[in-house]
Structure 1
Amino acid sequence: MDGETTVLGGRAVFLCPAEGPPIAAEVDAVNLIGGLWGKEVDWLVLPTARLGEGFLRLRTGLAGAVIQKFVTYRVRLAIVGDISAAVASSEALRDFVRESNAGDRVWFVPDLPTLEARLQAR
């Protein structure tokens, strides 16, 4: 799997590149999770550029299905990038992001420095 393992905020993370196949179905999440096999990482960092069409439209069910795979397989997921326009236009997405960010399994953050600060605080 393309990407690199590094340390952010004292945690081992796997950084997925912005270029690559979009996460457009549950199987794409499973493939990412499988690609982590043998890598000792605490988080998978996924750029928003990799989110498939409809991921941020909750009515498609894609976000819920993909995120459930990460939760089921106990892989923490950080989605990194600017989703402010999508959040501003959807109360449901705004609530979903807020609830996700309140937990410790899935976070939506605007950039890597913000992720690093959150990881350091934990």
Structure 2
Amino acid sequence: MLDDRILVCEPDGPRLREDRDALDLIGEAGATGATWVAVPAERFHEDFFVLRTGVAGEIAQKFVNYRVGLAVVGDISRFTAASTALSAWVLESNRGGHIWFVRDLEELAARWSARG
């Protein structure tokens, strides 16, 4: 079971492509008292997974600046298979405490409870 400090977004919501999309979710998290936002991978525009576009950096930076964690939930293997840079970023992000890439909500719950 997920902690109520994690705002879990529905898969059919608006796609995230710009930093203002991130700000909308950060605002929603703040209104509910959440400190993390779990967003299904399919909600992200494909540009998020192409690092040279800068979309991922812009969105990630907003979450870090506002001290709200971001969990990208779902299978992104088709993107990581095509990009060693993205694979490296995912690995590095998962070592930290601000942005996580997880397969599903169960993995997120396990990471959340183990974070100490």
TM-score (norm 1): 0.89
> How far does residue 35 in structure 1 lie from its aligned partner after superposition?
1.7
CA contact (8 A) 1:11 1:42 kept: no
Letter in 1 for 2:112: L
1:57 corresponds to which of 50, 56, 74 = 50
Judging by fraction of residues, say which structure has more helix. Answer: 2
| Structure 1 residues without counterparts, runs of 5 or longer | 1-6
Does residue 20 of structure 1 match 2:13?
yes
Shift of 1:16: 0.6
Q: Which residue of the other structure, out of 47, 63, 66, is the alignment partner of 1:70?
A: 63
SS at match of 2:14: coil
| SS of corresponding position for 1:30 | helix
User: Unaligned stretches of 5+ in structure 2?
Assistant: none
Q: Which runs of 4+ in 1 moved over 3 A?
A: none
Q: Which residue of 2 aligns with 1:106?
A: 99
Instruction: Please state which structure has a larger fraction of its residues in strand.
Output: 1
CA distance in 2, matches of 1:112, 1:36: 17
2:114 and 2:14 mapped to 1: Cα distance? 32
TM-score, structure 2 normalization: 0.93
Contact 1:13 1:44 in 2 (8 A): yes
